[in-house]
Amino acid sequence: MASEPTFLTERPREGPEEDLERDLHTEHQILNMGPSHPATHGTVKFTVELDGETVVDLDVAVGYLHRGFEKECESGTWYQAIPYTDRLNYNSSILANVGYCMAVEKLLGLETPKRCQWLRVLASELARLADHLTRCGAACLEMQAMTPFIYGIEARELVWDLCEMLCGARLTSNYVRIGGVKHGLPKEFSRICRANLEKIRVLLADFDSVVTQNRIFVDRLKGTGILSKEDCIRYSLTGPLLRAAGVPLDVRKAEPYLVYDQIDFDVPIGEVGDNYDRYLVCVEEMQQSLRIVEQCLERLEDLGDGPVNVDDPRVRWPAKGRVFNHMEELIQQFKAVTEGPRVPAGEGYLAIESANGELGFYLVSDGSAVPYKVRCRPPSLINLAPLPLMVRGSLLADIIPTFDFVNMIGGECDR
């Protein structure tokens, strides 16, 4: 005969005093976030150690998008590396084009024509604008705010329309050449650009009115992800993250390249270095980029028609009309396409200010037509390294906005 069933509630309990005194067993929880998490844009894996909802520690695993950028560059000509640089930071590919080509020009000792330099600045600032719009828009999206994301993306579409006019492509621009650019401004570009800038200003104002004073947004950004000025410098942070902590360091001002010394623009800085300061710095940088683009348009109109490529047979091809009618130019074109330029032996490092910070290229040449070493200093990777320091002790939900404003771009971080 079966024994009488005993219900849990009927089992003898321990005394109430003991119940209160007993230490409840608790342990830290390990949570895996990623590598493909809907609230992180970028393929990255966090292993989060949680005490309740508080982050005790965080391990970041990168490399999911590693394509062997440096190895591929070492097997083609100097020219063949340019399309690879498009795929570093795919939000602002022109900036990587500019950085790489300027580094090669440094080794070659080339000085590009004025018109080319203004065009490069124009294209760079459009790319920076697109990058910041993505960062701020996507940050809102990941904090469940769909509307500002749409405003940001609409503005980015306007920027990409301009990029398409200028380069023929929206994302993979491939616009800059060693010693020049692909071509000058297309017809009607100035008019359409000015019209689009006005539309972007309106969208930015809309974005600002929905987001900047929004209670939810401010609560989630203010005081989260703080990194002090000293820590930023120890961790080699650059770009908006460093400036949000109050260090007015911008490569465009510190070591002016191209024609940035002739342009009137300001470098915004923050105070405490939290996510809200980072957001404000990005918003202000977009306004400054709009100013720079307008100045570039004016200057390019003043400069009129002129060469956009350096007149150097080592790197630029002869005019098509001459190639088809003259033997020497045909041979030169053939050699330039099949072999590519030879870069004198040596080494050089060149840094530009990309949307994420200092984007540097360290090139080593052995005198041949193939790069010996192409090192890209990726701001995304270096900016991501102190993420555990930024979120330790804060809530799990704070990882999302902090990671958004670090703006790690997988293509550039993992190369």
Partner 1 sequence: MGDRSSSGLEDHGSTALRRLVEALPEALESSHAQHGDVTVRVTAGRIQDVLRFLRDDADCEFEMLSDLTAVDYLGETPRFEVVYHLYSVTKNQRVRIKARVPEEPCEIATACDLWPSANWLEREVWDLYGIRFQGHPDLRRLLLYEEFEGHPLRKDYPKERRQPLVGPRN
Give just the sign of the alpha carbon dihedral 263, 201, 174, 188.
negative
DSSP H helix total and E strand total for the chain: 18, 8
Residue 377 interacting with partner 1 (CB under 8 A) = yes
**Binding partner 1 by CB under 8 A: which of 107, 145, 176, 292?**
107
Q: For residue 389, what are the CA distances in angstroms to 224, 227, 254, 402?
A: 11, 8, 28, 11
Residue 358 interacting with partner 1 (CB under 8 A) = yes
**Binding partner 1 by CB under 8 A: which of 181, 308, 336, 382?**
382
Residue 72 interacting with partner 1 (CB under 8 A) = yes
Angle between helices 146-167 and 114-142 (to 10 degrees): 160
Residue 254 interacting with partner 1 (CB under 8 A) = yes
- Could you give the CA distance from residue 239 to residue 123 in angstroms, rounded to a whole number? 19
Kindly tell me which of 145 and 384 has the beta carbon lying closer to partner 1.
384
**52 C-beta neighbours (distance < 10 Å), count:** 10
**Binding partner 1 by CB under 8 A: which of 199, 320, 373, 392?**
373
Judge contact between 388 and 57, C-beta under 8 A: yes
Residue 234 interacting with partner 1 (CB under 8 A) = yes
The stretch near partner 1 (CB under 8 A) out of 147-155, 179-187, 232-240, 306-314 is: 232-240
Q: 144's torsion region: left (phi>0), alpha (psi -120 to 50) or beta?
A: left
- Could you give the CA distance from residue 383 to residue 380 in angstroms, rounded to a whole number? 5
Kindly tell me which of 199 and 373 has the beta carbon lying closer to partner 1.
373
**Binding partner 1 by CB under 8 A: which of 29, 31, 53, 66?**
66
Minimum separation from the CB atom of position 239 to partner 1 (A):
13
Q: Give the DSSP per-residue string, 367-387.
A: SSSS-SEEEEE-HHHHHHTTH
Residue 68 interacting with partner 1 (CB under 8 A) = yes
**What is the 3-class SS of 169-206, one letter each residue?**
CCCCCCCEECCEECCCCCCCHHHHHHHHHHHHHHHHHH
Name 138's Cβ contacts closer than 8 Å, sequence gap at least 6. 41, 149, 152, 404
Minimum separation from the CB atom of position 360 to partner 1 (A):
6
Residue 366 interacting with partner 1 (CB under 8 A) = yes
**Binding partner 1 by CB under 8 A: which of 317, 375, 394, 395?**
375
**Binding partner 1 by CB under 8 A: which of 109, 186, 256, 306?**
109
**Binding partner 1 by CB under 8 A: which of 33, 55, 58, 62?**
62
Residues, the chain = 415
Residue 250 interacting with partner 1 (CB under 8 A) = no
Kindly tell me which of 79 and 372 has the beta carbon lying closer to partner 1.
372
- Could you give the CA distance from residue 199 to residue 221 in angstroms, rounded to a whole number? 27
Give the binding-site size for partner 1 (rule: CB under 8 A).
42
**Binding partner 1 by CB under 8 A: which of 162, 249, 282, 400?**
249
Q: Can you give the binding site for partner 1, defined by CB under 8 A?
A: 62-63, 66, 68, 70-72, 75, 106-107, 109, 233-236, 247, 249, 254-255, 345-349, 351, 358, 360, 362, 364-367, 372-373, 375, 377, 381-382, 385-386, 414-415
